[in-house]
């Protein structure tokens, strides 16, 4: 349950500085998407949900709308910005960096912009990471590249040391680009800033290739990721059809959430089985996964299986330790499923031609497609608008198609996952023809 208070966004104080964008804003006509900053974008989008809440209208949960303000908190001529990218690679990192720099420089006149290298390590003296001067010239064509020109790293660093660095450099605008772990780090930085009574805005841009941040319609890079994965599935389908009893097995990213597996499978409609972390399944038995795969091959001569990396972990004996970000280390489900299929076909003396594809790093490292490129730019613009207006401990979100400001504590409260009873998973079942459950 999300309440009115959950959506309250922290502010550093009243805005008294005229925005450099004021002449343009004064010419804009009021429209459906040009929401006044005092208005709210409702959390619920159905009449039944609003009726179920009841209560006073001023207690209905609503997001603060994103966008440029007529009055801002920071004087751009006296402001200094920092940008950092954290976590695993994702299509669109460089697009966001470039858009932040261009918006800060040209729209607001902020001339001192610094890029911190290798994630949160870039703030910590012992790592000796360089700090880059970011200018329109230095970022002019980085959007044509995959990866991130700032580099990245996993794991949290001491927020005290990070804020020490920000204060030493006189940075009052910090843009953090990353996923849920990164946003938890941003929250810790914001809390340290607050304890010191400093005036530093901390604003996040949501990056997660798995699309697993709560209360965000879609994180940047996700559409590019599932598009690349969809092409691999099409290749697996061609390989499977070309050989007798052919099986194309594709492992895609998705530690806790099967969104890439679902969307990639729907994109070309070539998959016959999709396995995701949210839907446990059984391997053996007359109604198990292996029996279903063999039945499909007997009837049709081939099959395509798509599995998210976090699926079937319980069948492999659980996790073994954690990585630098605190994520549980996963067993290799792709190799596991490949071996299970191979052994099962051999036990039944069935011919098998299985081709295994693992495009994980290819998916992560490509440049953003046109949709994500536009989305990255718009997220970045709204992040700059939010920071200049003095909002902090906030991440830019898109909710029901509208750009809004999402408090970071709410964004990291839970994880966005595929609903086994929702319409997305229903579409997967309809597309593949696989049973609702195996076993």
Catalytic residue set: 210
Alpha helices in 27-153, H assignment, sequence order: 47-53, 93-102
Cα separation, 61 vs 63, in Å, equals 7
For 21, 32, 79, 100, 118, the CA distances from 107, given in Å and listed in that order, are 7, 24, 13, 10, 27
3-state secondary structure of 414: coil
Q: Which of 83, 4, 18 is nearest to 389 (CA)?
A: 18
Cite the DSSP H helix spans in 63-121.
93-102
CB atoms within 10 A of CB 45: 11
Find the helix packing angle between 259-268 and 423-432, rounded to 10°.
Answer: 50
Separation of alpha carbons 305 and 70, rounded Å: 53
Q: Which residues contact 405 (CB under 8 A, 6 or more apart)?
A: 9, 63, 64, 65, 66, 386, 391, 394, 395, 396, 397
What angle in degrees, to the nearest 10, is found between the helix axes of 93-102 and 370-388? 40
Within 10 A of 296 (CB to CB), how many other CB atoms are there? 20
Q: Is 32 helix (H, G, I), strand (E, B) or coil?
A: coil
What's the Rg (C-alpha) of the chain? 24
Alpha carbon distance 351, 402 (integer Å)? 52
Residue 68 CB neighbour total at 10 angstroms: 23
């Amino acid at each position: 349950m999300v309440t009115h208070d959950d959506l309250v966004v922290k502010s550093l104080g009243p805005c008294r500085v005229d925005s450099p964008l004021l002449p343009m804003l004064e010419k804009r006509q009021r429209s459906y998407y040009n929401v006044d900053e005092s208005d709210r974008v409702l959390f619920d989008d159905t009449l039944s949900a609003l009726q179920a809440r009841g209560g006073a209208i001023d207690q209905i949960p609503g997001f603060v709308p994103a966008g440029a303000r007529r009055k801002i908190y920071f004087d751009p001529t006296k402001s200094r910005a920092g940008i950092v990218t954290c976590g695993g690679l994702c299509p669109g990192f460089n697009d966001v960096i470039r858009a932040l720099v261009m918006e800060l420089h040209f729209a607001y006149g902020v001339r001192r912009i610094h890029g911190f290298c290798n994630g949160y390590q870039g703030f910590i003296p012992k790592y000796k990471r360089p700090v880059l001067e970011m200018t329109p010239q230095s970022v002019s064509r980085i959007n044509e590249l995959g990866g991130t020109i700032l580099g990245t790293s996993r794991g949290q660093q001491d927020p005290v040391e990070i804020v020490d660095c920000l204060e030493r450099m006189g940075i009052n605008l910090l843009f953090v680009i990353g996923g849920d772990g990164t946003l938890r780090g941003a929250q810790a930085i914001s809390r340290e800033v607050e304890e010191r009574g400093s005036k530093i805005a901390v604003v996040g841009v949501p990056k997660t290739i798995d699309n697993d941040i709560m209360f965000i319609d879609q994180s940047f890079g996700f559409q590019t990721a599932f598009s690349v994965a969809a092409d691999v599935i099409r290749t697996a389908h061609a390989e499977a059809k070309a050989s007798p009893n052919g099986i194309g097995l594709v492992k895609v990213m998705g530690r806790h959430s099967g969104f890439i597996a679902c969307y990639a499978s729907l994109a070309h409609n070539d998959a016959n089985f999709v396995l995701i972390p949210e839907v446990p399944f059984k391997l053996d038995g007359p109604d198990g996964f292996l029996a279903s795969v063999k039945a499909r091959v007997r009837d049709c001569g081939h099959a395509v299986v798509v599995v998210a990396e976090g699926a079937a972990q319980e069948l492999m004996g659980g996790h073994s330790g954690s990585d630098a970000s605190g994520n549980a280390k996963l067993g290799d489900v792709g190799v596991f499923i490949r071996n299970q299929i191979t052994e099962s076909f051999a036990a039944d003396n069935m011919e098998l031609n299985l081709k295994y594809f693992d495009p994980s790093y290819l998916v992560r490292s490509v440049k953003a497609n046109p949709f994500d490129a536009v989305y990255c730019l718009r997220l970045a613009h709204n992040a700059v608008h939010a920071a200049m207006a003095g909002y902090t401990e906030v991440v830019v979100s898109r909710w029901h198609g509208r750009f809004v400001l999402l408090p970071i504590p709410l964004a990291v409260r839970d994880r966005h996952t595929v609903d086994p009873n929702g319409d997305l998973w229903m579409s997967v079942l309809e597309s593949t023809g696989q049973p609702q459950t195996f076993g």
